[in-house]
Amino acid sequence: MRKLIRYLSPYKKEAILGPLFKMLEAFFELLIPLLVANIVNEGIANGDRTYILQRCAVMLIFGVVGLVCSLSAQFFSAKAAVGMSRGIRHDLFARVGKLSFAETDRFGASTLLSRATADVGQVQTAVNLVLRLFLRSPFIVFGAMVMSFIVSPRAALVFLVTIPALSVVIFGIMLVGIPLSRKVQGALDRVVLRTRENLEGARVVRAFVREDASVREFVDENRELTHLQRFSGRFSALLNPLTYAILNLSILAIIYLGGKEVNTGNLRTGDVIALYNYMSQILVELVKLANFIIIITKACACAGRINEVLEAPEGMKVYPPENGDTPQHVSQKVEFCDVSLAYSKGAKEALSHIDFSIPSGKTVGIIGGTGSGKSSLVHLIPRFYDVSAGAVKIDGKDVRTLDERALRSRIGVVPQKAALFSGTIRENLLWGDAAADDDALFAALDAAVAGDFVRALPGGLDYRIEQGGRNLSGGQKQRLTIARALVRRPEILILDDSASALDYATDAALRRRIATLPFAPTLFIVSQRTASIRDADLILVLENGEIIGKGTHEELLETCPVYREIHTAQFGNGEEVGV
């Protein structure tokens, strides 16, 4: 938690004023029982209405001043806490945007979202409570005990026994209750997961007639959650009876001792009432402090999760160039030199001994079954991941020796899943090149076979895309993502199965237009269709992360059984139509 305190630096004034006003409120609160004692001892005992009204007016003033102090403390504490969480979220979002693919995979998208929202919110709540209660509650507890000794040292001895007893009960229940709460939360997560699975997979459940089994599984998970909640609830329910039993015993002791002191003339009736009020204040503040510590405990765990992201390596390490990282064959634009890839240390290799080279301006087609490593291979070119062995070179230079921005500015990547952002078509295309004019945008759209449908949309380039592009068809989204990559006129263009939603005729038109681009990019096409890669200068056939076939379309039909099987399954013994 202390590592995040630096985010409070811009709010030092608020972080000081918040607790200060809370201490003032607590000070006035401690004076109220004395005023009540004076009213009873002097005003009521002597029948002096004027004295009573004067002391009531003073109490009212103290109450108003205390309220103002409380509101001021809340304002400054909230401003500091919200400002701190704003700074954390800003840096957290910036860091997530700069994490390497490997780090993003390690954390997972869901937990990154959770850390940036729920965890930061928990820290914000804790900071707010710290500024308001960290000094107030101990001040009230010890202040009430001191004031009780001022009223009656002998009767105040009860406080020396009551405070430790209440502390043991409250914090003991808290220490046992925290692990129980975690178990309850885990069981709740399982119930939510089961519910989500059944809702998302409702069609599958019905198709396989698994409704009864799904209900039984949910009932079992829910029964476990109910059992844990009951046990935790019963244990937590001990807090009120035990604390109030101790409190009432203490009050009886105070009344008994106070009564004896009143009878002997050493204490007055109003003083006994003041002692009773101080005891009530102590109980309330100890309960607040216990809840406060529970929240702090959770916040510390959340802060650790946040720091884990903030301290994660930013981007990819740039390695110093080696002697061999100089261009030797200018015509060889991209080289894979005995490359292997494992996504994590000790994991099975996703790619093994990949070795090929492709000259500038040529086309590489990559095909293979699901999970064969096609996407993994092309992700190494823009260095989304680092190789486990070997090297990927561009112009004879290992990509690990190049600056990330400089490397990726030369590459256009169209991922498997078309990703569009809410906004206009123009705003989405300008991701490729922020300085591009409308002519350049339409040139890219025409090359992606998207110009005609964009011109037909209301507003054209200013047509607004909804979140995730849900107001566009799958093919339209894919063509727009391809156009976005073409706007930057990349030297290397990677199409990672990005035409899967296109019909064969549109796919063929797309490839023809890309082949005639004036900037002639080196093209990598990942596809499940042999029709999409048949004209490639080099085709790689992958299986289990290894190249099992390499050559042109005609060569692979003769030499690679897997490629021939894929082609025959799609087109029989004839040739493709419309390509």
**CATH code (residue 481):** 3.40.50.300
Model pLDDT, residue 579 = 44
Chain segment 383-409, per-residue pLDDT in tens: 988 899 999 999 889 998 888 888 888
User: Which 3 state secondary structure label does DSSP give 291?
Assistant: helix
> Is residue 378 very low, low, confident or very high in pLDDT (cuts 50, 70, 90)?
very high
Model pLDDT, residue 285 = 81
> What residues have CB less than 8 Å from 459, skipping those under 6 apart?
424
424: region left, alpha or beta (phi > 0 left; psi from -120 to 50 alpha): beta
Domain for residue 459, yes or no?
A: yes
Domain for residue 238, yes or no?
A: yes
> Is residue 412 very low, low, confident or very high in pLDDT (cuts 50, 70, 90)?
very high
Chain segment 236-267, per-residue pLDDT in tens: 777 778 877 887 888 888 888 887 878 877 77
pTM across the whole model:
0.72
Chain segment 262-271, per-residue pLDDT in tens: 887 777 888 8
Which one of 444, 468, 489 terminates a domain?
A: 489
Is pLDDT of 326 > 50? no
Model pLDDT, residue 328 = 46
| Cα→Cα distances 229→179, 219, 224, 236, 497, Å | 12, 15, 9, 10, 48
Domain for residue 56, yes or no?
A: yes
User: Which 3 state secondary structure label does DSSP give 267?
Assistant: coil
Q: What is the dihedral of CA 46, 49, 54, 56, to 10 degrees?
A: 100
The DSSP secondary-structure symbol of 542 reads: E
Model pLDDT, residue 429 = 93
Domain for residue 275, yes or no?
A: no
* Domain that residue 461 falls in: 414-489
Model pLDDT, residue 36 = 87
* Pair (17, 131) in one structural domain: yes
Model pLDDT, residue 330 = 42
Query: CA-CA distance, 399 to 318, in Å (whole number)?
Result: 9
Model pLDDT, residue 487 = 94
Place of tokens 């048949």: 534
Q: How many other CB atoms are there within 10 angstroms of residue 77's CB atom? A: 25
**173-177, 218-222, 420-424, 468-472: which has the minimum mean pLDDT?**
173-177
Is pLDDT of 125 > 50? yes
Is pLDDT of 348 > 50? yes
Model pLDDT, residue 442 = 92
* Pair (127, 214) in one structural domain: no
Phi, psi of 448 (to 5 degrees): -90, 15
> What residues have CB less than 8 Å from 82, skipping those under 6 apart?
124
Nearest Cα neighbor of 415 from 554, 564, 254, 526 is: 526
* Pair (78, 193) in one structural domain: no
Query: CA-CA distance, 1 to 214, in Å (whole number)?
Result: 42
Do residues 510 and 482 make contact, with C-beta atoms less than 8 angstroms apart?
A: yes
Domain for residue 110, yes or no?
A: yes
Query: CA-CA distance, 370 to 414, in Å (whole number)?
Result: 18
Phi, psi of 495 (to 5 degrees): -110, 100
> Is residue 185 very low, low, confident or very high in pLDDT (cuts 50, 70, 90)?
low
State the Cα angle at 348 between 346 and 354, rounded to 5°: 115
Which one of 467, 489, 511 terminates a domain?
A: 489
**Across the chain, what does the average pLDDT equal?**
85
HEC states along 6-62? HHHHHHHHHHHHHHHHHHHHHHHHHHHHHHHHHHHHHHHHHCCHHHHHHHHHHHHHH
Model pLDDT, residue 443 = 93
Q: Please count the structural domains in the chain.
A: 3
The pairing of beta strand 351-359 with beta strand 332-341 = antiparallel
Model pLDDT, residue 270 = 85
Domain for residue 290, yes or no?
A: no
Which one of 266, 292, 323 terminates a domain?
A: 266
Model pLDDT, residue 573 = 64
Q: How confident is the model over 169-173, as a mean pLDDT?
A: 78
> Is residue 574 very low, low, confident or very high in pLDDT (cuts 50, 70, 90)?
low
* Pair (164, 262) in one structural domain: yes
Domain for residue 209, yes or no?
A: yes
CATH number at residue 100: 1.20.1560.10
Query: CA-CA distance, 80 to 121, in Å (whole number)?
Result: 13
Who wins on pLDDT, 344 or 205? Answer: 205
Chain segment 38-91, per-residue pLDDT in tens: 888 888 888 888 888 998 999 999 989 989 999 999 999 999 999 999 999 999
Q: Which amino acid is at 216?
A: R
Chain segment 447-477, per-residue pLDDT in tens: 999 999 999 999 999 999 998 888 888 889 9
* Pair (108, 192) in one structural domain: no
* Pair (135, 182) in one structural domain: no
Model pLDDT, residue 223 = 92
Q: How confident is the model over 169-181, as a mean pLDDT?
A: 76
* Pair (30, 131) in one structural domain: yes
**16-20, 106-110, 402-406: which has the minimum mean pLDDT?**
106-110
Q: What percent of the chain has pLDDT over 70?
A: 95
Domain for residue 324, yes or no?
A: no
* Pair (432, 467) in one structural domain: yes
> Is residue 315 very low, low, confident or very high in pLDDT (cuts 50, 70, 90)?
low
Is pLDDT of 332 > 70? no
Contacts 24+ apart (CB under 8 A), 167-171: 167/286, 169/239, 169/242, 169/243, 169/246, 170/239, 170/243, 170/286, 170/287, 170/289, 170/290, 171/290, 171/293
Do residues 388 and 342 make contact, with C-beta atoms less than 8 angstroms apart?
A: yes
